[in-house]
Amino acid sequence: MTKTITEKIFSRKCGCDVSAGEMRVVPVDAAMVHDITGPLAVNMFHRMKGEKVFDPEKIIMIFDHQVPADSITAAENHIMMREFAKEQGIYNYDVKEGICHQVALETGKIMPGDIVVGVDSHTCTYGAVGAFSTGIGSTDMGFVLRFGALYFRIPESVRIEADGKFAPRVGAKDLIMKTIGDIGADGATYRAVEFTGQAFEEMEIPGRMTCCNMAIEMGGKAGIVPPDEKTRKWLSKYGDVDAAKPGSFDLKADEGAAYAGKVEYDVGDLVPQVAVPHNVDNVVDIDEVEGTHLDQVFIGSCTNGRFEDFAEAAEVMGDMNFSPDVRVIAIPASRTEYLKCLRAGIIEKFVEAGALFEAPCCGPCMGGAFGLIGVEEVSLSTSNRNFRGRQGSTKGEVYLCSPATAAASAIKGEIADPREM
């Protein structure tokens, strides 16, 4: 029987043939908890009469949403999580390490074909290395911490096939926003989004992370790119790829596998995309919003906070400074990415151009910590959501774009086309 990559991963894990639509209780290979939804998960673990977690080595704890602690309650939540980690023998990636999804992949604990859950909707990012990864709630995570397994409905898949070569200043973020705009915010609900084609084969892991990260923005349970030599090379910087399960790097869908839907793109036709407030699927070509006044530009988040994103932004900037009328907040996704920016002179360039370059964390993305916008302010952001109130006031507006568009716009003080810089 022909299978999608998702069905193969679940079949391998279950030791028998399973197909989309079946409900199974499946062991997980890793579980990620962070400082916002983690405390409630720990509470649920205790309420489920949990005493020892299933396997401390498979639990990845990371503080990223409110770091350094921005309130007394956040500090208390951190204390509680640190104590739990110590008592259970879990290694805690504390406030200095960066955003959960970037750091989780940098631990080298996640390999292709793994089944990973995390208490954050953007856990689907790990599909960039060929893992089946999905976001769950805190009670689900309490159950996982105790039993090391969770109930899953094995999802149908939708196939996004992208061929061709990107034009200069157009890339992964534009492609995923275009796809979300076409499919809609619930177009892939309960489904795994499988990304294939020449554009994904040629895309490096950071771009694949950007695309998989936003699978949830079309309702996807997971986003997944078939693993390949690029995956092996990237993961070998962080973990022991030879210890991965046999066949992990050869996983791909069978010819003729059944999909719930297919969409095809030639990325050569793609122009910079912008998601307009207040829904992620309100996506337009950049010429429809050029000239929109901006108060703040944010380059960072688990979607676009990697070295490659800052390097592209820096290339667009050239020797120009940011508009004095715009606050530019730049935040790398992890300590590793921060150091790469530091060593390449990118931080110096950003600071000289007028940016606030912050230590790795989620920053204004979720609207819980610093860098919030006020009433009637407009933010342009490389993050993944533009919901009303997402980055501060419910009377403010958030637009989403690529790092290249963010840099061009920060220079002009209004939404600007990076191809014209």
Contacts to other proteins by CB under 8 A: 13-16, 22-27, 36-37, 39-40, 43-44, 47-49, 65-66, 71, 73-74, 77, 119-121, 123, 135-140, 142-143, 146-147, 149, 151, 153, 185-186, 189-190, 219, 221, 279, 366-368, 385, 387-390, 393-395
Q: Which is nearer to other proteins, 78 or 349 (CB)?
A: 78
Q: How far is the CB of 48 from other proteins (least distance, A)?
A: 4
Q: How far is the CB of 73 from other proteins (least distance, A)?
A: 4
Q: Which is nearer to other proteins, 353 or 362 (CB)?
A: 362
Strands ordered across the beta sheet of 192-196: 222-224, 192-196, 157-163, 261-266
Q: How far is the CB of 214 from other proteins (least distance, A)?
A: 12
Q: Which is nearer to other proteins, 1 or 23 (CB)?
A: 23
Q: Are residues 200 and 166 in contact, defined by beta-carbon separation less than 8 angstroms?
A: no
**Rounded CA gap, 372 and 360, in Å?**
17
Q: How far is the CB of 138 from other proteins (least distance, A)?
A: 4
Q: How far is the CB of 148 from other proteins (least distance, A)?
A: 8
Q: Which is nearer to other proteins, 44 or 415 (CB)?
A: 44
Q: How far is the CB of 24 from other proteins (least distance, A)?
A: 6
Q: Are residues 283 and 364 in contact, defined by beta-carbon separation less than 8 angstroms?
A: no
Q: Which is nearer to other proteins, 91 or 387 (CB)?
A: 387
Q: How far is the CB of 266 from other proteins (least distance, A)?
A: 29
Q: Which is nearer to other proteins, 54 or 238 (CB)?
A: 54
Q: Which is nearer to other proteins, 139 or 198 (CB)?
A: 139
Q: How far is the CB of 377 from other proteins (least distance, A)?
A: 14
Q: How far is the CB of 126 from other proteins (least distance, A)?
A: 14
**Considering only CA atoms, which of 133, 65, 120 is closest in space to residue 331?**
65
Q: Which is nearer to other proteins, 185 or 356 (CB)?
A: 185
**Considering only CA atoms, which of 235, 226, 207, 251 is closest in space to residue 108?**
235
Q: How far is the CB of 226 from other proteins (least distance, A)?
A: 23
**Rounded CA gap, 408 and 414, in Å?**
9
Q: Which is nearer to other proteins, 190 or 259 (CB)?
A: 190
State the Rg of the chain over Cα.
20
**Rounded CA gap, 29 and 111, in Å?**
9
Q: Which is nearer to other proteins, 122 or 327 (CB)?
A: 122
Q: Which is nearer to other proteins, 109 or 385 (CB)?
A: 385
Q: How far is the CB of 119 from other proteins (least distance, A)?
A: 6
